[in-house]
Chain A
């Protein structure tokens, strides 16, 4: 059978069509494989960003790295708040205990003030006693030999009085010293109370306010970050449109197959009876029709590829713009929260400032607690010294009481001597005053001893309780400080972690950028497909020239100007087309009707 078109024309065309199929298929297949990876990478980046947000806002992030170390910032704050609340309760209890000690010390001071009164009275009585003894000595001297014995007694009385005055002065001095120690002790308690009061009373509110400020800051950060992430989520849209477009490859492939089907060798093999001019004209008209149909189909493929290329480029441009905008917002976010701002008084970044207030308040609390406890430990030691002083004073008073008992002996001896010595009998009345004074001194000394004993008892109990309280507080505060310190460290860790996270915060991974670059390169390869189609058009034009010439020659030979294709070859060929628009185009070109149907995207439910 004769070949109606030279194989040398058909073969390069077939090769280029194969090339077109393989080129477009390769590009679209790569796009189809790369795009899901890009989406995966994008979603992962956004998911990590959202996890960062949940880390800020005490969400329920699950990423291991977020849970490591300090845990969620919100949890750290909540934990710190609880620690502070516990500390506040304990510090209040400490203040109450200190107030109790303070009033006990005041009682001790009051007691010691009474002691001072007693000593003052003893001293005055002793001075009077001394005067009386001098008078008695004068009387004894005047009595001569008869008053000799009385003279010894009055001498003894004078010595006792002088010694009493001396001891009273000494005890007064020592009492004053102890009283000073008490005053010092009370002053220190007062200072500690004021010191603690100025801080313990307000630290809870201060810290709560700083935590609230911090959480408000975090809320703001979260809001901004969510806006950045939402902006970045917008990059899905152009990617989705690209993904939607890649299904066109199926239509492109089918369209090229229609061209290949039309250029099937069988269509260019003569089957007509050469003796029948009608059959020859019909066949040559069919063959001449094929290049036009194919050109039309190639134009459709060209339009599809060109449209695809346009969509890809346009969407990639849109994608890059959206990414650029999201990245810009991200950079502003990082700059604001993680980097120090100009004119921020060297307070560092917004994040540093947010944390700084809380961290500073906690650090201040720890410093004050340490100082307070150190002062109390010193006081505890001072308290022991006061007790030792009081004990020594008591011993001296016991000794003093025993000493003043000698007045009574002297008084008795004096009265006996006066009674038996006639010349001294007149003095018996004045000796009555001596006896009263002796008893008064003795009573006052005993009273003073009682005071000192009572003071000693009260103070011993107070200082013992205070020392025990300090010991207990030291232990509890040590644990409390350790917990606060731990909380403080967690807060610092959380701050550093947040700072690092924000600094390293990126919406798009490196792989995402690499895949995108790869996608752009692949898209540009479609341009080559357009060049191949230009070549295919050239081949078709040559074939058209050749087939048209044969057909026109046959028409001229038959004396005809045109010929309508009558055979079923064309319909049979078109029936194999799988795209309705191609069938319709072919029908329109050949002048026959094609069965109707739906448009692309039409849905029919049965």
Chain B
């Protein structure tokens, strides 16, 4: 099962990739919303293979909220989206929920916590 991580921080992406690959997932990476959409475009027709999308909020070119809204317009709209960000204000979370996010995890994360969240949505 594949998981897409969209974050402008390469160290964060590396941490997520390490954690999820240890749990048996294949991790796809993108550095912002635009790149994330491009990755999804490349995977059109293989929607069932993408088990989850994890995205940051504050990113250059296309922020996380816009990215979520754009994903919801694609064939990947049923893929659960977890927001992984330093942002934690309630209003921001409501914005994420409205955009179509399935969950919100405030950075930094504990590896076991991330895998537990993922397992709530999918199985490797």
Which residues from chain A sit less than 8 Å from chain B, CB to CB?
28-29, 31-33, 35-36, 39, 240, 243-244, 246-251, 253-254, 578-580, 583, 595-606
Task: Assess whether B104 is interfacial by the CB under 8 Å rule.
Answer: yes
Task: Assess whether B57 is interfacial by the CB under 8 Å rule.
Answer: yes
Query: What is the CA–CA distance of A28 and B102 in the complex, to the nearest angstrom?
Result: 30
Interchain residue pairs with CB less than 8 A apart (9): A28-B11, A244-B108, A249-B9, A250-B107, A254-B58, A578-B87, A600-B88, A602-B105, A605-B120
Query: What is the CA–CA distance of A599 and B110 in the complex, to the nearest angstrom?
Result: 13
Number of interface residues of B (CB under 8 A): 38
Interface segment out of the listed B35-43, B69-77, B90-98 = B90-98
Task: Assess whether B89 is interfacial by the CB under 8 Å rule.
Answer: yes
- Beta-carbon contact of A602 and B14 below 8 Å: no
A251-B107, A603-B103, A606-B103 as given contacts; A246 in contact with B97, CB under 8 Å: no
- Beta-carbon contact of A601 and B89 below 8 Å: no
Partner of A578, one of B86, B108, B110: B86
- Beta-carbon contact of A250 and B97 below 8 Å: no
Q: With A244-B111, A597-B87 given, can you name 11 additional A-B contacts, CB distance below 8 Å? A: A35-B14, A36-B17, A240-B111, A243-B14, A247-B9, A249-B9, A578-B86, A595-B90, A597-B88, A599-B88, A604-B104
B119 to chain A, nearest CB (A): 12
Query: What is the CA–CA distance of A587 and B17 in the complex, to the nearest angstrom?
Result: 36
Task: Assess whether B66 is interfacial by the CB under 8 Å rule.
Answer: no
A244-B110, A578-B58, A605-B103 as given contacts; A29 in contact with B88, CB under 8 Å: no
Partner of A603, one of B16, B86, B92, B104: B104
Chain A contacts for B16, CB-based, 8 A: 247
- Beta-carbon contact of A600 and B102 below 8 Å: no
- Beta-carbon contact of B92 and A32 below 8 Å: no
- Beta-carbon contact of B101 and A600 below 8 Å: no
- Beta-carbon contact of B110 and A251 below 8 Å: no
A36-B18, A605-B102 as given contacts; A247 in contact with B88, CB under 8 Å: no
Task: Assess whether B7 is interfacial by the CB under 8 Å rule.
Answer: yes
A248-B108, A250-B11 as given contacts; A601 in contact with B113, CB under 8 Å: yes
Query: What is the CA–CA distance of A240 and B92 in the complex, to the nearest angstrom?
Result: 31
- Beta-carbon contact of A601 and B87 below 8 Å: no
B1 to chain A, nearest CB (A): 19
Chain B contacts for A249, CB-based, 8 A: 9, 11-12
Chain B residue, CB-CB nearest to A254:
B86
- Beta-carbon contact of A597 and B14 below 8 Å: no
Query: What is the CA–CA distance of A251 and B107 in the complex, to the nearest angstrom?
Result: 8
Query: What is the CA–CA distance of A551 and B57 in the complex, to the nearest angstrom?
Result: 37
Chain A contacts for B7, CB-based, 8 A: 250
Top-10 shortest CB links A-B: A32-B14, A250-B9, A597-B88, A597-B89, A247-B15, A598-B88, A249-B11, A32-B11, A604-B104, A606-B97
Task: Assess whether B106 is interfacial by the CB under 8 Å rule.
Answer: yes
Query: What is the CA–CA distance of A240 and B107 in the complex, to the nearest angstrom?
Result: 17
B39 to chain A, nearest CB (A): 20
B95 to chain A, nearest CB (A): 11
Chain B residue, CB-CB nearest to A583:
B89
Task: Assess whether B78 is interfacial by the CB under 8 Å rule.
Answer: no
Query: What is the CA–CA distance of A39 and B108 in the complex, to the nearest angstrom?
Result: 21
- Beta-carbon contact of B105 and A597 below 8 Å: no
Query: What is the CA–CA distance of A604 and B93 in the complex, to the nearest angstrom?
Result: 8
- Beta-carbon contact of B117 and A603 below 8 Å: yes
Which residues from chain B sit less than 8 Å from chain A, CB to CB?
7, 9-12, 14-19, 57-58, 85-93, 96-97, 101-111, 113, 117, 120
- Beta-carbon contact of B106 and A601 below 8 Å: yes
Chain B contacts for A250, CB-based, 8 A: 7, 9, 11-12, 86, 107-108
A250-B86, A580-B89 as given contacts; A601 in contact with B109, CB under 8 Å: yes
Query: What is the CA–CA distance of A248 and B108 in the complex, to the nearest angstrom?
Result: 7
Partner of B93, one of A243, A248, A597: A597
Query: What is the CA–CA distance of A491 and B117 in the complex, to the nearest angstrom?
Result: 52
Chain A residue, CB-CB nearest to B18:
A243
Query: What is the CA–CA distance of A250 and B15 in the complex, to the nearest angstrom?
Result: 11
- Beta-carbon contact of A244 and B86 below 8 Å: no
Query: What is the CA–CA distance of A39 and B21 in the complex, to the nearest angstrom?
Result: 12
Partner of A596, one of B89, B96, B117: B89
B88 to chain A, nearest CB (A): 4
A390 to chain B, nearest CB (A): 84
- Beta-carbon contact of B11 and A31 below 8 Å: yes
Chain B contacts for A247, CB-based, 8 A: 9, 11-12, 15-16, 107-109
B78 to chain A, nearest CB (A): 15
Query: What is the CA–CA distance of A31 and B9 in the complex, to the nearest angstrom?
Result: 13
Chain B contacts for A605, CB-based, 8 A: 102-103, 120
Chain A residue, CB-CB nearest to B98:
A606
- Beta-carbon contact of B11 and A603 below 8 Å: no
Query: What is the CA–CA distance of A39 and B17 in the complex, to the nearest angstrom?
Result: 13
Chain A contacts for B17, CB-based, 8 A: 36
Chain B residue, CB-CB nearest to A25:
B11
Partner of B11, one of A29, A596, A602, A606: A29
Chain A residue, CB-CB nearest to B85:
A578
Partner of B90, one of A251, A579, A597, A599: A597
- Beta-carbon contact of B101 and A606 below 8 Å: yes
Chain A contacts for B102, CB-based, 8 A: 605-606
A36-B18, A250-B7, A250-B86 as given contacts; A599 in contact with B104, CB under 8 Å: no
- Beta-carbon contact of B15 and A244 below 8 Å: yes
B62 to chain A, nearest CB (A): 16
- Beta-carbon contact of A253 and B14 below 8 Å: no
Chain B contacts for A32, CB-based, 8 A: 10-11, 14-15
- Beta-carbon contact of B15 and A246 below 8 Å: yes
Query: What is the CA–CA distance of A600 and B107 in the complex, to the nearest angstrom?
Result: 5
Query: What is the CA–CA distance of A204 and B97 in the complex, to the nearest angstrom?
Result: 76
A401 to chain B, nearest CB (A): 99
Chain B residue, CB-CB nearest to A246:
B11
Query: What is the CA–CA distance of A254 and B87 in the complex, to the nearest angstrom?
Result: 11
Partner of B14, one of A240, A246, A606: A246
Query: What is the CA–CA distance of A583 and B90 in the complex, to the nearest angstrom?
Result: 13
- Beta-carbon contact of A243 and B15 below 8 Å: yes
- Beta-carbon contact of B93 and A578 below 8 Å: no
Query: What is the CA–CA distance of A604 and B88 in the complex, to the nearest angstrom?
Result: 10
- Beta-carbon contact of A33 and B9 below 8 Å: no
Chain B contacts for A28, CB-based, 8 A: 11
Partner of B91, one of A246, A253, A595, A600: A595
